[in-house]
């Protein structure tokens, strides 16, 4: 007569309990790993943002000045091209789609009502939510170019960025203002920094680039002349010069 296995129920129960325990362990380990990855991503995001701000305040300013002295900039549109060119090269690996650069980014002013928009010249964005592919602005940059520094325009951009930071839309707001002033660049920087309200210091940063900085009076006159030459193209003048060269060559 076959012997009945009386331990079958007990062994089955042990296996079920062991499987449940293993499932709980896997779930707990997955949560710990996810939190660890989130903390690492947050630290990396913060470090990259700080590095980009440092780059904008230092090497980007130097490169804009280099483009300026080479007459590659003669308008606000040229300034935007210079800024975006150098910033794109400084962003993390292009294969990493966590960071992107946007120009003319429109930001809703309020959640209700007519919903008007603020437009920001340049924004460095971070992919905070991979599920919905939602990029959030980390650094917003406003650009201005006038011959003389206009305090009203500068203050307006500073107040705009202060408002965006206050609403937690961005981590940093930066104004890059290019001008041609007789005053020294340090004096202009101090004046611009004085426009930033106390609680926004370090978060809203004005950067003044004075094309005349370090130039003599005669160098400034030559710079203005070449600036205007690079800013406009008159086809009639170009045609006349070409005709003059042709006549000279034929004679």
Beta strands in the chain (DSSP E): 99-108, 117-129, 134-145, 172-179, 204-210
pLDDT of residue 35: 75
Whole-Å CA distances, 104 to 17, 47, 88, 127, 141? 59, 25, 15, 18, 10
Query: What's the rounded Cα separation, in Å, for the pair 47 and 124?
Result: 14
Query: What's the rounded Cα separation, in Å, for the pair 26 and 13?
Result: 20
pLDDT of residue 30: 77
Percent of the chain clearing pLDDT 70 (strictly above): 80
Q: What spatial distance separates the first Cα and last Cα of the chain, rounded to whole Å?
A: 129
- Identify the DSSP state of 58: I
Q: What is the mean pLDDT of residues 159-167?
A: 93
Q: What CATH number does domain 49-214 carry, 2.60.40, 3.90.920, 3.40.1350, 3.30.60?
A: 3.40.1350
pLDDT of residue 218: 79
Q: Which helix (H) or strand (E) holds 25?
A: helix 8-55
pLDDT of residue 114: 58
What's the token pair of residue 170? 């961005």
Q: What is the mean pLDDT of residues 55-67?
A: 92
Under the banding of pLDDT at 50, 70 and 90, the label for residue 124 is: very high
Reported pTM: 0.75
**pLDDT of 180 higher than 70:** yes
Q: What is the mean pLDDT of residues 180-200?
A: 90
* Least confidently predicted of 41-55, 82-96, 166-180, 183-197: 82-96
* Least confidently predicted of 49-58, 64-73, 123-132, 182-191: 123-132
Phi/psi for 225 (5° steps) reads -65, -45
Phi/psi for 92 (5° steps) reads -55, 175
pLDDT of residue 247: 66
Boundaries of every domain in the chain: 49-214
pLDDT digits (tens, 9 = 90+) for 4-37: 555 555 567 778 877 777 788 887 777 777 777 6
Under the banding of pLDDT at 50, 70 and 90, the label for residue 98 is: confident
Q: What is the mean pLDDT of residues 56-68?
A: 91
pLDDT of residue 73: 84
The mean pLDDT of the chain is 82
Phi/psi for 165 (5° steps) reads -70, -40
Query: What's the rounded Cα separation, in Å, for the pair 195 and 86?
Result: 27
pLDDT of residue 185: 83
**pLDDT of 133 higher than 70:** no
- Identify the DSSP state of 4: P
Q: What is the mean pLDDT of residues 105-129?
A: 77
Centre a 10 Å sphere on the Cβ of residue 179 and count the other Cβ atoms it contains.
20
């Amino acid at each position: 007569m076959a012997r009945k296995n009386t331990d079958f129920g007990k062994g089955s129960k042990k296996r079920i309990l062991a499987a449940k325990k293993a499932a709980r362990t896997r779930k707990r380990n997955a949560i710990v790993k996810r939190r660890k990855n989130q903390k690492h991503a947050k630290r990396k995001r913060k470090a990259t943002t700080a590095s980009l701000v440092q780059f904008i305040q230092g090497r980007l300013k130097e490169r804009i000045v280099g483009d300026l002295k080479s007459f590659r900039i003669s308008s606000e549109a040229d300034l935007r091209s210079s800024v975006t060119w150098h910033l794109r090269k400084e962003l993390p690996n292009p294969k990493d789609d966590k960071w992107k650069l946007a120009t003319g980014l429109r930001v809703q002013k309020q959640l209700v009502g007519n919903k008007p928009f603020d437009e920001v010249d340049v924004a460095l964005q971070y992919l905070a939510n991979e599920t919905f592919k939602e990029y959030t602005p980390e650094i917003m940059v406003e650009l201005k170019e006038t011959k003389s520094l206009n305090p009203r325009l500068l203050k307006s951009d500073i107040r705009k960025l202060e408002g965006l930071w206050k609403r937690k839309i961005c981590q940093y707001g930066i104004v890059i203002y290019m001008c041609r002033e007789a005053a020294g660049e340090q004096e202009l920087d101090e004046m611009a920094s004085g426009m930033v309200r106390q609680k926004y210091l370090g978060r809203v940063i004005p950067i003044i680039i004075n094309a005349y900085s370090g130039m003599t009076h005669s160098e400034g006159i030559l710079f203005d002349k070449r600036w205007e030459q690079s800013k406009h193209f008159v086809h009639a003048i170009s045609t006349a010069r070409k005709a003059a060269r042709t006549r000279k060559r034929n004679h």
